[in-house]
């Protein structure tokens, strides 16, 4: 299995008018995310040389990058109307939050050649993930109206958006050598079940 888990709790009912202001409420979280990403690129640069020299991804740097993406997926799920739970200001996993994201640390190490070629190898997968990314925005657009009138985010639309996010997450994880296994071309149509995040294999 690919060593990444991304899951979002599907709510039986959503706030009818919250979608009108989520973009505004999310601004503080998005500002912090922007700052985290600036630091993140320096962290990734240091990790590049660490992997190149030692063949290992320093755990502290790995945890920071995973935490940065975890913050981003929480904020994206909130703005994308997939949850009404405000994203916590933390890089750590929160079992009580609707969005769960984790990547298993590569205990076996990372081959020194990977930082040189992952950006090239991931291109086919990333192209598909990018197309699915547009699908996520389309689902959020339709969900805006379904939530406004029915207080529901149809489960079929929700799963389309969730799978699009998973593909993007896998693409990013492989691109940044957080994962050494090539991401699978898999679609997960089942209704998401929330709970303690399934430990990545």
| Spatial distance between the Cα atoms of 170 and 158, rounded to a whole number of angstroms | 18
In a domain, 31, yes or no: yes
In a domain, 140, yes or no: yes
In a domain, 11, yes or no: yes
Please calculate the CA angle 74-86-170 and round it to the nearest 5 degrees: 5
| Range of the structural domain that residue 148 is part of | 4-175
> Positive or negative, the Cα torsion across 30, 197, 176, 169?
negative
pLDDT of residue 127: 96
Report the Cα 49 to chain-centroid distance in Å.
25
pLDDT of residue 117: 95
| Residue 29 Ramachandran class (φ > 0 left, ψ -120 to 50 alpha, else beta) | alpha
pLDDT of residue 178: 96
In a domain, 201, yes or no: no
CB 194 within 8 A of CB 98: yes
CB 83 within 8 A of CB 98: yes
pLDDT of residue 189: 52
In a domain, 199, yes or no: no
In a domain, 186, yes or no: no
In a domain, 195, yes or no: no
In a domain, 198, yes or no: no
Q: Provide the number of structural domains found in the chain.
A: 1
pTM for the whole structure: 0.90
φ, ψ for residue 42 (rounded to 5)? Answer: -70, -40
Written as six digits, the tokens of 35 are 């700052």
Mean pLDDT by 10 residues, the chain (201 residues): 92 95 96 98 97 96 98 97 96 94 95 95 96 92 96 93 95 96 80 38 33
């Amino acid at each position: 299995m690919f060593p990444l888990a991304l899951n979002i709790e599907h709510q039986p009912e959503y706030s009818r008018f919250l979608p009108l202001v989520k973009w505004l409420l999310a601004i503080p979280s998005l500002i912090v995310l922007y700052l985290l990403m600036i630091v993140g690129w320096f962290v990734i640069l240091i990790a590049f040389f660490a992997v190149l020299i030692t063949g290992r991804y320093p755990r502290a740097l790995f945890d920071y990058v995973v935490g940065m993406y975890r913050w981003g997926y929480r904020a994206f799920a909130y703005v994308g109307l997939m949850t009404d739970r405000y994203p916590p200001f933390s890089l750590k996993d929160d079992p009580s939050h609707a969005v769960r994201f984790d990547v298993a640390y590569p205990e076996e190490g990372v081959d020194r050649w990977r930082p040189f070629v992952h950006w090239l190898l991931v291109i086919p997968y990333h192209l598909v993930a990018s197309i699915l990314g547009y699908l996520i925005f389309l689902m959020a657009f339709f969900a805006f109206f379904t939530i406004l009138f029915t207080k529901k985010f149809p489960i079929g639309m929700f799963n389309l958006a969730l799978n699009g996010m998973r593909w993007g997450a896998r693409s990013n994880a492989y691109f940044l050598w957080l994962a050494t296994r090539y991401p699978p071309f898999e679609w997960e149509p089942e209704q998401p079940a929330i709970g303690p995040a399934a430990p990545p294999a």
